Amino acid sequence: LALLPARSFTGDSMQRPLSCRLTSSSIVEQDVDRFTQHVYKDPETGCEMPYNLYLPKDYDPNKSYPLVFFVADASANINNTKTPLFQGNGATVWTEPEEQAKHPCIVLAPQYTQDLVQSIGMMTTDENVWTPGLTLVTHLLQDTIKNYAVDKTRIYGTGQSQGGMTNIAISDRYPDLFAAQWLVACQWNVQEMAAMKDKKLWITVCEGDNKAFPGMNEATPSGNRLAAPSRATPRRGGTASLQSPS
C-alpha cells in the first residue's frame, strides 16, 4: 500500500496555479471519440445507466483483454453520458495510442446521471453504506465482463472521490474481483477495508482533504498490520508517504 499526499512544488517552493485558462478541445474530442456510448438496463433495480466503452483497435472476441473500470467523482453526475471522458482523463489516458501499444485493454467508464441521483439517490455517501446506485454500477461491470473478452484475472479499478469510494465498496463486497486498484481522494469504512488487505492498492490523497487523508491514514496501518508493517517516509516539499517495505 502507498499513501501519497499530493502537493505541487518546483524546487523548494510551492508552485502557484496558472492564472490563465488552458484549453485543448481538439485533443479532448479525439479522446472522447475513441469511446462508444451505450445504456445498460438493470433487471434488479429497474434502472438504466449510460456508459462509455472503449475496445482496443482490432478487438478480437476470441482473445482476452485486461479491463480498466473508471468511475468519476460526483461533480460529473449530470445528464451527459460523455462527462467522465472530458471531466478529467481518468478513463481516456488508458486509450492513448502509446498506452494501447504497450497495454491493449478494454476501458469502461459509467456515467451516474442527475436522473439517477434524483430517482435512487447518490451512488456513494459519507455513511459508507451499500446503495442502489452501487448495485446498479456493479451489475453493469459484471455485465461488461460477461459480454466482452475480458481477462478475469486482470480487472483494474480506479476513480477519484465518489469513484474511489465506489471501487472500495465493490472490492469490499467482491474481494476477488480486482487485480489492483488506484484509489484517489477517497475513503471508506475502515473495518470493511480489511477485506482488501491482500490487494494491490495505490492510494493517493491530499493532505488538505479533511476526510480522505485522515480516513486513509487510519485504514492503511490497519491493512498493513494484516499484511506488512508500514513506515513513514519523508518526501521533498514537506510531504510524507506511508509505504509497505519493499
2-11 per-position pLDDT tens digit: 444 444 433 4
pLDDT of 28 reads 67
pLDDT above 90: percentage of residues in the chain = 60
Residue closest to 51 by CA, chosen among 91, 110, 92: 110
Alpha-carbon distance 120 to 194, whole Å?
Answer: 28
- Does the pLDDT at position 112 exceed 70? yes
Using the predicted structure, report yes or no on whether residue 191 has a pLDDT greater than 70.
Answer: yes
The lowest-confidence range among 107-116, 145-154, 182-191 is: 182-191
User: Average of pLDDT values for 186-190?
Assistant: 82
Q: What is the pLDDT of residue 93?
A: 95
CA–CA distance, 54 with 34 (Å, rounded to integer) = 6
Whether residue 217 is predicted with pLDDT greater than 70 in this model: the reply is yes
The packing angle between helices 162-173 and 132-147, to 10°, is 70
What's the predicted TM-score (pTM) here? 0.79
Which pLDDT band, with edges at 50, 70 and 90, does 26 fall under? low
Residue pLDDT, tens place only, 64-83 = 999 999 999 999 999 999 99
